[in-house]
Amino acid sequence: MAAQPIAPLDYLARARGLSSLVAAHAAAGDRDRRLPTPMIEALKQAGLFRMLQPARYGGGECDPTTFLSVQAALSEVDMSTGWLHGVMGVLAFHLALFSRAAQDEVWLDDPDALLASSYMPTGKAFPIPGGFQLSGRWGFASGADHADWFLLGGVAADESGQPRPMVFLVPRADVQVHDTWCTTGLRGTGSQDLSVAACVVPEYRAHGLRDRFLGLSPGLSVNRAAIYRVPLPQLLFRVISSPAIGGLRGMLEAYLTHNGDRVAVTGAAASKDPVTQLACAEAAAELHEMTTMMAANFDRLLDHAQSGSEPPIPDRMIYRLQASLVTERCCRLGARLFKATGASGLSTAKPFGRFLADIQAARQHAANQYEGHGRALGAAMLGQETEDTLL
């Protein structure tokens, strides 16, 4: 099943090669509140959902920076497309941490099988012989309409009766998808509600958060590439914030084109307006800073993974805060660009309002509420000790 790995630049070239198709399907995604199936199939055929899949199944075992660069490139055209590439594609990384039996069940017959997730810990799992009985309702499962399998958060009791946070792998046949995604931004993500009335999940299709936190995930015995030693939450936080980088970059490029020869109502060239000039410069500088910081953080995380050491918890806390601050920064910079477009930027024929709405929608995600992560880091710096499995 193993295939020749695709070079990192080839992945990015494939994403860029889909730009026209992404643009052509964006309006339908907004209208239907889910990406059109042909767009999903094009991403599949380009291998972009399999970048983090183990090579044993023909996946790319790609480095995180390349994966996130592809996500941002797609988001430059349509943030909903970039969002789905990231939040569905990263689940190949998570499944690689599950047991070999779980991975085989999903990928052995269909290496292109797609996963969607809701990590909300709202599922109730009762231990039964050989596994769990799971039920519950979850929100915000991006790409649910296209998924073959789901990763669902829940809580089970351990041997001592204490709550045990877990993630359960559930086939589509056991999941009901509810058409609930009616939003002002990221409309094409189809982030629907899910429910499970009562299904049996075998033990091998369950993954404990504490096991993952301690580096004891069963999949590590078969997937030995260094990337799978990178703490999963570092990727999860980035795939929720990196679309905003792409969206802001797309907005800036459109803005430069828009104002290249525009004349304001005062009769002055917009390109000579100091407010316009500063808005462009600050957006470009902060985009460069955010992308450079992301790459540097993953370089350090991979260094630890390759050496067999664990990245220090204080470093992980800083990386997480930096990731979750991205959408806040992009919202501020995007709002400045939108304001500088003047009345002409209000036109629905222009992309500015759409980009800004999508960036603001990304900011609303629980993982992008940076304030709590900032307080956690500050508390640790002040000597407060807590265990944080979101690291």
- Of 181, 210, 239, the residue at which a domain comes to its end is 210
User: For 128-142, 259-273, 296-310, 312-326, which range has the lowest pLDDT when averaged over its residues?
Assistant: 259-273
Same structural domain for residues 140 and 84? no
Provide the 8-state DSSP code for 269. Answer: B
Give the pLDDT confidence score for residue 369 in this predicted structure. Answer: 95
Query: Which tokens belong to 201?
Result: 């999940």
Same structural domain for residues 205 and 337? no
pLDDT band at 262 (very low <50, low <70, confident <90, very high): confident
| 3-state SS, residue 364 | coil
Same structural domain for residues 124 and 242? no
Report CA dihedral (131, 114, 110, 38) to the nearest 10 degrees: 160
Tell me the average pLDDT across 31-41.
Answer: 98
Domain hosting 196: range is: 113-210
Side-by-side strand order, sheet with 192-202: 176-178, 192-202, 131-141, 115-128, 149-157, 163-171, 206-208
Same structural domain for residues 350 and 244? yes
Same structural domain for residues 294 and 344? yes
Pick the closest to residue 22 from 1, 38, 6 (CA basis): 38
Same structural domain for residues 119 and 199? yes
Which residues, 6+ apart, have CB-to-CB distance to 338 below 8 Å?
251, 345, 352, 353, 356
**For all residues of the chain together, what is the average pLDDT?**
94
- Residue 257 in any domain: the answer is yes
- Residue 2 in any domain: the answer is no
Same structural domain for residues 84 and 157? no
Give the pLDDT confidence score for residue 273 in this predicted structure. Answer: 84
Query: Which tokens belong to 256?
Result: 């430069």
pLDDT band at 55 (very low <50, low <70, confident <90, very high): very high
Buried residues in 73-106 as b, exposed as e (16+ CB within 10 A): bbbbbbbbbbbbbbbbbbbbbbbbbbbeebbebb
User: Is pTM, for the whole model, over 0.75?
Assistant: yes
Same structural domain for residues 237 and 349? yes
Give the pLDDT confidence score for residue 28 in this predicted structure. Answer: 98
Same structural domain for residues 277 and 371? yes
- Of 210, 243, 273, the residue at which a domain comes to its end is 210
Same structural domain for residues 203 and 235? no
Give the pLDDT confidence score for residue 389 in this predicted structure. Answer: 74
- Residue 223 in any domain: the answer is no
Give the pLDDT confidence score for residue 221 in this predicted structure. Answer: 97
pLDDT at position 272 over 90: no
- Of 96, 131, 164, the residue at which a domain comes to its end is 96
Measure the CA–CA gap between 236 and 232, rounded to whole angstroms: 6
383, burial (CB in 10 Å: exposed 0-12, middle 13-18, buried 19+): exposed
Total structural domains within the chain: 3
Tens-place pLDDT, residues 143-182: 999 999 999 999 997 677 789 999 999 999 999 999 999 9
Give the pLDDT confidence score for residue 385 in this predicted structure. Answer: 82
Same structural domain for residues 123 and 75? no
